[in-house]
Amino acid sequence: MDTAFDSSIASDDVQSEIRSLELDTLLEQYGDALGCSPEVRSRALEIIHIFAEYERLSSKSPSAIAAAAIYVAANEYGASLSENEVSDTTHVTTTSIQQRANECLAALREDNH
Protein backbone atom coordinates (compact mmCIF):
# COMPACT_ATOMS: atom_id res chain seq x y z
CA MET A 1 0.00 0.00 0.00
CA ASP A 2 1.40 3.36 -1.05
CA THR A 3 1.14 5.83 1.82
CA ALA A 4 3.01 8.65 0.10
CA PHE A 5 1.61 12.07 0.86
CA ASP A 6 1.44 14.61 -1.93
CA SER A 7 2.07 17.88 -0.11
CA SER A 8 1.40 19.96 -3.24
CA ILE A 9 -2.22 18.75 -3.35
CA ALA A 10 -2.66 19.37 0.37
CA SER A 11 -1.07 22.79 -0.01
CA ASP A 12 -3.45 23.69 -2.86
CA ASP A 13 -6.43 22.56 -0.76
CA VAL A 14 -5.28 24.60 2.22
CA GLN A 15 -4.65 27.65 0.05
CA SER A 16 -8.11 27.28 -1.48
CA GLU A 17 -9.72 27.08 1.98
CA ILE A 18 -7.80 30.13 3.18
CA ARG A 19 -8.83 32.13 0.10
CA SER A 20 -12.45 31.07 0.55
CA LEU A 21 -12.44 32.22 4.19
CA GLU A 22 -10.77 35.46 3.19
CA LEU A 23 -13.39 36.13 0.51
CA ASP A 24 -16.24 35.34 2.94
CA THR A 25 -14.76 37.75 5.48
CA LEU A 26 -14.28 40.49 2.90
CA LEU A 27 -17.84 40.05 1.60
CA GLU A 28 -19.17 40.40 5.14
CA GLN A 29 -17.07 43.50 5.81
CA TYR A 30 -17.89 45.15 2.49
CA GLY A 31 -21.56 44.24 2.72
CA ASP A 32 -21.77 45.82 6.18
CA ALA A 33 -19.86 48.94 5.16
CA LEU A 34 -21.97 49.43 2.03
CA GLY A 35 -25.29 48.62 3.72
CA CYS A 36 -26.06 45.72 1.37
CA SER A 37 -29.18 43.63 1.84
CA PRO A 38 -28.93 39.93 2.72
CA GLU A 39 -30.05 39.14 -0.84
CA VAL A 40 -27.19 41.14 -2.35
CA ARG A 41 -24.69 39.49 0.00
CA SER A 42 -26.00 36.03 -0.82
CA ARG A 43 -25.88 36.73 -4.55
CA ALA A 44 -22.34 38.12 -4.25
CA LEU A 45 -21.23 34.88 -2.60
CA GLU A 46 -22.91 32.89 -5.38
CA ILE A 47 -21.16 35.06 -7.99
CA ILE A 48 -17.78 34.35 -6.36
CA HIS A 49 -18.43 30.60 -6.44
CA ILE A 50 -19.40 30.75 -10.12
CA PHE A 51 -16.42 32.99 -10.89
CA ALA A 52 -14.13 30.49 -9.14
CA GLU A 53 -15.32 27.74 -11.48
CA TYR A 54 -14.20 29.72 -14.54
CA GLU A 55 -11.17 31.67 -13.30
CA ARG A 56 -8.09 30.85 -11.27
CA LEU A 57 -8.54 32.92 -8.15
CA SER A 58 -4.98 32.53 -6.95
CA SER A 59 -3.74 35.26 -9.28
CA LYS A 60 -6.55 37.69 -8.43
CA SER A 61 -6.79 40.09 -5.50
CA PRO A 62 -9.37 38.82 -2.99
CA SER A 63 -10.45 42.39 -2.21
CA ALA A 64 -11.02 43.16 -5.90
CA ILE A 65 -13.02 39.94 -6.38
CA ALA A 66 -15.18 40.64 -3.32
CA ALA A 67 -15.70 44.30 -4.29
CA ALA A 68 -16.67 43.35 -7.85
CA ALA A 69 -19.04 40.61 -6.70
CA ILE A 70 -20.81 43.06 -4.36
CA TYR A 71 -21.00 45.62 -7.18
CA VAL A 72 -22.43 43.11 -9.70
CA ALA A 73 -24.90 41.65 -7.18
CA ALA A 74 -26.08 45.10 -6.07
CA ASN A 75 -26.72 46.08 -9.67
CA GLU A 76 -28.64 42.86 -10.32
CA TYR A 77 -30.93 43.76 -7.40
CA GLY A 78 -31.34 47.37 -8.53
CA ALA A 79 -29.43 48.83 -5.60
CA SER A 80 -27.91 52.19 -6.44
CA LEU A 81 -24.28 51.40 -5.75
CA SER A 82 -21.69 53.07 -7.96
CA GLU A 83 -18.20 51.85 -8.74
CA ASN A 84 -16.86 54.94 -6.99
CA GLU A 85 -18.85 54.17 -3.84
CA VAL A 86 -17.57 50.59 -3.80
CA SER A 87 -14.03 51.81 -4.51
CA ASP A 88 -14.08 54.44 -1.76
CA THR A 89 -15.41 51.94 0.79
CA THR A 90 -13.28 48.93 -0.15
CA HIS A 91 -10.09 50.79 -1.16
CA VAL A 92 -10.05 48.86 -4.44
CA THR A 93 -9.48 50.94 -7.58
CA THR A 94 -12.39 51.44 -9.95
CA THR A 95 -10.25 49.89 -12.70
CA SER A 96 -9.82 46.69 -10.67
CA ILE A 97 -13.54 46.63 -9.86
CA GLN A 98 -14.39 47.06 -13.57
CA GLN A 99 -11.97 44.30 -14.62
CA ARG A 100 -13.16 41.79 -12.01
CA ALA A 101 -16.82 42.76 -12.60
CA ASN A 102 -16.40 42.06 -16.33
CA GLU A 103 -14.83 38.69 -15.51
CA CYS A 104 -17.66 37.90 -13.08
CA LEU A 105 -20.25 38.81 -15.71
CA ALA A 106 -18.49 36.64 -18.31
CA ALA A 107 -18.51 33.70 -15.86
CA LEU A 108 -22.22 34.28 -15.17
CA ARG A 109 -23.00 34.31 -18.90
CA GLU A 110 -20.97 31.12 -19.33
CA ASP A 111 -22.84 29.54 -16.42
CA ASN A 112 -26.24 30.96 -17.53
CA HIS A 113 -27.13 32.39 -14.12
- Whether 97 is covered by a domain: the verdict is yes
Distance of CA 56 to the CA centre of its chain: 12
Q: Which long-range contacts (CB under 8 A, 24 or more apart) does 7-15 make?
A: 15/58
Residue 26 structural domain: 17-111
Task: Report the predicted TM-score, pTM, of the whole model to 2 decimal places.
Answer: 0.82
Helices (H) and strands (E) in the chain, counts: 5, 0
Tell whether 37 is covered by a domain: yes
Q: What's the confidence (pLDDT) of residue 22?
A: 84
Between 1 and 102, whose confidence is greater? Answer: 102
- Number of structural domains, the chain? 1
Q: What is the pLDDT of residue 43?
A: 96
